[in-house]
Structure 1
């Protein structure tokens, strides 16, 4: 007996969904053969937005990421996610570029079906949501590369159903983990139970391939690694060039010497200290560019410690705290900083959350996809991290006021929030040597607590021991680190209008009023699987698929038209002639003069659907 798979069943699972109103989450069920569901829309390209990378200045330090080449092969689409995914997987020019080549997919789909699908009864809304998501997941699976991953962000309303659905689409063996994100740290006292977490389901195309390609997290403190002197060994941080010295133990005398810097300064080790290395070793380190004397070359010596020398990284875990990746409040502040006079989204995602996902699942130059753009966080972070991206947004008002506007700010270096900048590293002040095991952050906290304890004690403030402790724990913060300097760009596009419709009254497929001119040509080509021709020398044919050439005629196909086309083909080529009207005898004539050729009558030759099943 064949083994049966566990599957999720819901009302109308065998049906497909089409939007009932443009620009809103409203759908109705139709047969999967209905042209309103099957039609492939093409992309209409609008403007191209391009920015210029800002120059570096002495005011900031710059991370290695700030030197990545800004990407300009990006795509922002206004349109319904299902239609966009069909275009990416079915339009030949787009399919060649994206099918099997997307490294990372992150989606943040509508959470609360009771609000999103307000016109449906409770027993139907989950079915609508599941059908909508099933159809999109199938397309996304085609787009995903073999070593790619998909991250689906949900709350507890649909998470359990989505898990079973993704098992069905991607396979149980390709489930990687369920990430728990602490999205809020405050308590909602009006709730019976205050919900503080969201969930992110992670699946792969091929588990083994992704396991070998995914990135580890950087170890704690690695964000402080920068490269202010453009050292070819990459980012580094600095550590003290001194060590403790105890004269009574009669040790390390060889490390007490007058050190001469490249700038000509002569320095003695601080009281109670020695230099970390002997003078001959110090001179070797100078030659190897391993000693840092500050941006002006006049500071005390510090030893450079390179990130590449730090052993490995950290395996990602499944609990992501607010401290690590931010909260929804963090995200709201990021949006409000960009658009101070506009109401923020109710559940935006912080840039650090997407930064971690994109870091784990992709590398610079890889393609990142998000088909529920919203405020555009995924694309914004992908751009700042040197990835290519594709994203789309359904609601035109959201698209114009937030998504496009935000991404314009990103490429024009007008977005200083999110992951654009990192606070400077907390380090010991000049000529301060912190004890072994005491970090600069520890010292800063100690000083803060000490100041509070003696705030109302004038005598303590004057105590030499207190003053000495404050001097010994003095710290400073290094320059702010810039991770993104703008640059790159993106193509703006929208979906072409429908050229095919179904009339229930006539029970047949009809051409729409938009089905004319180049719109009709591109629609027919896409739906028949032909790639458009862009030759400036020959405008006889419109598209090609292998050895077959397509000609679309908005009018009557006659034998004279066939004869004129035959004169423009090469041996071995065939003709597909698509026309809104076909005269008697034309089909037979074309097949006779060019074997393997055919005539397509519009619209029936593309979609011959009828509700009665007469295909």
Structure 2
């Protein structure tokens, strides 16, 4: 398999492991009652902060849980003046390159810088993606080939699904130097292509108009298809046979260059089930095959998406203007993201967008939940300072309704807004005492089990975290005192399990006794693994 080599790659291949784990600090919650300090329990999240650190912060709760990821990263066109600096010369990313890639970072080409920025982020996105999930990445021709090779390396080339071409412009660019750039791409990779299946699309109003019932069939409206195929008599001799028009009694043969599409046995079944239509007067030269609306499986997905179906860039900008947002130049249309969600999510899916921009993905999720009563959850991450003034503000207006006299009705819904909090493990290996005990418990339990910490906490066993694969996990931690695993603590254990893993500062029980009771002691903080 071809691999992609770039300057600085060796510095970033494992960088996602070196990124510090930070907790997420909720700033406020928002719902139809407005903004308030109280936690409304919403699973919808908008996170302000570097998306590399934010993605790592999501791992304990969401690794392997995200059904659909959509990202719209910088395209690396070299274009200055965008709200999200599209040539990856943003000071935060330059600082990151300087720290991670070292002195080479100042000399990297634009393309190498972009690859250094994308590599660790894609590694973490791959971890968050569910086994039956898929990632959709918007990109243009500048980095398309490099991105494909990068995703081959991270997701596996066997999990490449396809390129979607999005016809993004309603009119050509007459000032184009070479060609009017009318197409953008969406690169699609599955976590596990062998089990990922996209949903088919529902019929559009235009397609539904093709379903009628001219013969008053009690099974309802139907469309018709040709009864012949493109094979010749020589290629498919068994499909060259006569059939009978029941209305005229005439024997009908197909053309020798286009025989029937079905075997004689299938034809007899079709006759029995009244699936052939011979026209209004019953005297058509060849029959049509009836396909009923009630049994329709949906429209197969195609790789060319026209702006008539998913809108265009001008339409996306108009959406923002209607929302009263004027400081974002490169939004994606809501209908484009809705199309992705239609084929790659279910009504209960978690959807992640770690280059959130103006918040189109949340808008699409809220629209779809309102339309079908679903409970999709969104997680948005935006590193720029407009995360509050544009990204979150748009979501608020979508929930409440917007336009003159709120001409666009609100979707309802809710979210919580987060900032990246402190590092959980300090560089010297000690716990950051400023981090709350619950956040530490979530981290430790995840590192042990790769599962999220179960909700709720037992009043009888305040240090019990959870039972996983018949092992009970305890985190005996107090910020203001030293904890000791001793016989007194063992007497408080109520959970029955085959084995026990117990964290504490000290242990006063002999190793042989621990072994006899299938207890593994882990010392705080020495034995807390780093994510």
TM-score, normalization: structure 2? 0.65
Residue 316 of structure 1, CA deviation: 2.9
Query: Could you tell me which residue of structure 2 aligns to residue 110 of structure 1?
Result: 74
Q: Among 492, 496, 500, which residue is 1:568 paired with?
A: 492
Q: Quote the Cα distance in structure 2 between the aligned partners of 1:564 and 1:41.
A: 34
Residue 46 of structure 1, CA deviation: 4.7
How do residues 301-316 of structure 1 correspond to structure 2 at under 5 angstroms? 308-309=293-294, 313-316=298-301
Distance 1:141 1:308, change over 3 A: farther
Q: Among 549, 555, 558, which residue is 2:474 paired with?
A: 549
Q: Quote the Cα distance in structure 2 between the aligned partners of 1:375 and 1:108.
A: 11
Residue 160 of structure 1, CA deviation: 0.8
Query: Could you tell me which residue of structure 2 aligns to residue 7 of structure 1?
Result: 3
Indicate conservation of the 8 Å contact 1:215/1:361, yes or no. Answer: no
Residue 363 of structure 1, CA deviation: 3.6
Q: Among 359, 364, 377, which residue is 1:389 paired with?
A: 377
Indicate conservation of the 8 Å contact 1:104/1:144, yes or no. Answer: yes
Distance 1:522 1:415, change over 3 A: farther
Q: Among 21, 29, 51, which residue is 1:81 paired with?
A: 51
SS in 1 for 2:509: helix
Is 1:202 the counterpart of 2:188 in the alignment?
A: yes
How many aligned positions are there? 409
Q: Quote the Cα distance in structure 2 between the aligned partners of 1:415 and 1:356.
A: 24
Query: Could you tell me which residue of structure 1 aligns to residue 509 of structure 2?
Result: 589
How do residues 333-412 of structure 1 correspond to structure 2 at under 5 angstroms? 333-339=318-324, 342-386=325-369, 387=374, 388-395=376-383, 397-412=385-400
Q: Quote the Cα distance in structure 2 between the aligned partners of 1:368 and 1:177.
A: 20
Residue 350 of structure 1, CA deviation: 0.9
SS in 1 for 2:332: coil
The Cα offsets for residues 287-338 of structure 1, whole Å up to 9 and x where unpaired, read as xxxxxxxxxxxxxxxxxxxx94595544333222333322222111111111
List runs of 5+ in structure 2 lacking aligned partners: 34-40, 79-86, 95-104, 211-220, 222-291
How do residues 207-246 of structure 1 correspond to structure 2 at under 5 angstroms? 207-211=193-197, 213-216=198-201, 218-219=203-204, 221=206
Residue 180 of structure 1, CA deviation: 1.7
The Cα offsets for residues 49-96 of structure 1, whole Å up to 9 and x where unpaired, read as 3339xxxxxxxxxxxxxxxxxx9753333333233333333x1xx24x
RMSD between aligned alpha carbons? 4.0
Q: Among 127, 135, 138, which residue is 2:120 paired with?
A: 135
Query: Could you tell me which residue of structure 2 aligns to residue 68 of structure 1?
Result: none
Distance 1:513 1:416, change over 3 A: farther
Indicate conservation of the 8 Å contact 2:466/2:473, yes or no. Answer: yes
Indicate conservation of the 8 Å contact 2:16/2:121, yes or no. Answer: no
Q: Quote the Cα distance in structure 1 between the aligned partners of 2:45 and 2:129.
A: 17
Distance 1:367 1:569, change over 3 A: same
Residue 377 of structure 1, CA deviation: 0.5
Residue 198 of structure 1, CA deviation: 1.4
Indicate conservation of the 8 Å contact 2:359/2:391, yes or no. Answer: yes
How do residues 160-559 of structure 1 correspond to structure 2 at under 5 angstroms? 160-184=145-169, 185-187=171-173, 189=175, 191=177, 193-211=179-197, 213-216=198-201, 218-219=203-204, 221=206, 308-309=293-294, 313-339=298-324, 342-386=325-369, 387=374, 388-395=376-383, 397-414=385-402, 486-502=411-427, 508-509=428-429, 512=432, 514-515=434-435, 523-527=443-447, 531=453, 534-535=456-457, 537-538=459-460, 540-541=462-463, 543-544=465-466, 546-555=471-480, 557=482, 559=484
Q: Quote the Cα distance in structure 2 between the aligned partners of 1:125 and 1:364.
A: 40
Residue 15 of structure 1, CA deviation: 3.2
Q: Quote the Cα distance in structure 1 between the aligned partners of 2:123 and 2:346.
A: 24
Query: Could you tell me which residue of structure 2 aligns to residue 59 of structure 1?
Result: none
Distance 1:40 1:49, change over 3 A: same
Residue 220 of structure 1, CA deviation: 5.5
Q: Quote the Cα distance in structure 1 between the aligned partners of 2:128 and 2:512.
A: 40
Indicate conservation of the 8 Å contact 2:21/2:424, yes or no. Answer: no
Indicate conservation of the 8 Å contact 2:425/2:431, yes or no. Answer: yes
Distance 1:205 1:309, change over 3 A: same
The Cα offsets for residues 400-437 of structure 1, whole Å up to 9 and x where unpaired, read as 112222222222233799xx98xxxxxxxxxxxxxxxx
Query: Could you tell me which residue of structure 2 aligns to residue 464 of structure 1?
Result: none
Q: Quote the Cα distance in structure 1 between the aligned partners of 2:348 and 2:483.
A: 50
Distance 1:310 1:409, change over 3 A: farther
Q: Quote the Cα distance in structure 2 between the aligned partners of 1:401 and 1:134.
A: 29
Q: Quote the Cα distance in structure 2 between the aligned partners of 1:415 and 1:221.
A: 29
List runs of 5+ in structure 1 lacking aligned partners: 18-29, 53-70, 226-235, 237-306, 422-483, 503-507, 580-585, 610-615
Distance 1:203 1:319, change over 3 A: same
Query: Could you tell me which residue of structure 2 aligns to residue 474 of structure 1?
Result: none
Residue 519 of structure 1, CA deviation: 5.3
Distance 1:607 1:204, change over 3 A: closer
Indicate conservation of the 8 Å contact 1:113/1:126, yes or no. Answer: no
SS in 2 for 1:202: strand
Indicate conservation of the 8 Å contact 1:174/1:207, yes or no. Answer: yes
The Cα offsets for residues 359-399 of structure 1, whole Å up to 9 and x where unpaired, read as 22234333322221111101111221125132222336322
The Cα offsets for residues 196-253 of structure 1, whole Å up to 9 and x where unpaired, read as 3211112223335334x4213524525899xxxxxxxxxx9xxxxxxxxxxxxxxxxx
Residue 532 of structure 1, CA deviation: 6.4
Distance 1:223 1:373, change over 3 A: farther
Q: Quote the Cα distance in structure 2 between the aligned partners of 1:409 and 1:203.
A: 32
Residue 181 of structure 1, CA deviation: 1.8
Q: Quote the Cα distance in structure 1 between the aligned partners of 2:57 and 2:209.
A: 43
Query: Could you tell me which residue of structure 1 aligns to residue 243 of structure 2?
Result: none
- Larger Rg computed on CA atoms: 1
Distance 1:47 1:608, change over 3 A: closer
Residue 495 of structure 1, CA deviation: 3.6
